[in-house]
Amino acid sequence: MADPVNLLNLDRGSMQAFFEDMGEKPFRATQIVKWIHQLGVTDFDAMTNLSKLLRSSLPERAEIRLPVITHTQTSVDGTQKWLMQLDATGNCVETVFIPEENRGTLCISSQVGCPLDCRFCATAKQGFNRNLSTAEIIAQLWLAMDQLHQFRDKQHRITNVVMMGMGEPLLNFDNVLPALRLMTDDQAYGLAKRRVTVSTAGVVPGIDRLAQSCNVALAVSLHAANDEIRDRIVPINRKYPLAELLAACKRYAKIQGGESITFEYVMLNGVNDDTAQARQLVRLLADIPAKINLIPFNPFPGAEFHCPDRNRIDAFRDILVKGGFVTTTRKTRGDDIAAACGQLVGQVRARAQRHQPEKVTH
């Protein structure tokens, strides 16, 4: 007999196919999706609107298997970080909840480690082991909601999800997409499509696939206004240089009805933070509907970079604002528990060789 199917791997369409294969009516998929993702129920016997026969037969064909939270940390600012063990080999990822006055943002991981080796990111320093399954991605949302339910207040409600944790989501597209569909499915988590954001360091084919497959917000980890600097700090730029990346962003914005794309820009002292580069960034993004997030660099052990002082960041921001861009300097959250942007490390049992994008020649 085949191993049981983990139902967390299935979006509603795949769930429907699963139950049809069992000889059940398609509406069973909606019932199960509601039980698992809306009500947080993982015991088939507790799913009372299923027939007794189905409840008794499901364990032979299916299971609902979640990662295990092995460690929880809470920052002085209320940010929470959970270390989740994925498998018996000890692979773990980190998931972060950031509470704010009018919203709560959950930062989800998509890979164990990251293959892209961005030089300012702690996650990149641990190398890459494997992709997460759809179940392991959506389980981070399931477990976070379960953990936060105890508070029963608006400050601990998840309103936004960002795929900005460990890993490059668009290099795990086939597993990320069903999770995104569950997040935005009214029968599952029912998040507004513009409140679910996929972040990429610049995987151009993935941007085009996402545009055709799912209506969610896009964030691009840009971090430089020219290829010379970006080649050095974001190595995937050697494969997909800025001209190709920004062309893909324009295609994405057009397909998504002109919605703004968020460009993330980590501020590195003496590297990408002078006013000349701010002006260059204004010219670079001039014909793209864009918002810009400036991210003060968050240090980690062994980091080769430093954060600019506030006056330097403000001068950079002022040029972008004058250029017509909505620009926000991100407030550092959770840095005392290494939960801030670029600090997630988790635990990798066996490191694989990092992906080194080949240089594109023209």
Q: Catalogue the active-site residues.
A: 94, 341
Angstrom distance (rounded) from CA 271 to CA 305: 9
- What is the end-to-end Cα distance of the chain in Å, rounded? 53
Tokens of 135: 């179940």
Element of type H or E holding 177:
helix 173-184
Contact yes or no for 330/296 (Cβ under 8 A): yes
Partners of 313 in the β-ladder: none
Strand 290-296 to 326-329 pairing: parallel
Question: Quick one: which of 217, 218, 173, 164 has its CA closest to 192?
Answer: 217
Which amino acid would we find at residue 239?
K
CB count in 10 Å sphere of residue 244: 15
User: Which region holds residue 238: left if phi is over 0, alpha if psi is between -120 and 50, else beta?
Assistant: alpha
Instruction: Enumerate the β-bridge partners of residue 219.
Output: 199, 262
Q: Rounded to an integer, what distance in angstroms lies between the CA atom of residue 176 and that of residue 162?
A: 12
Contact 25, 176 (CB under 8 A): no
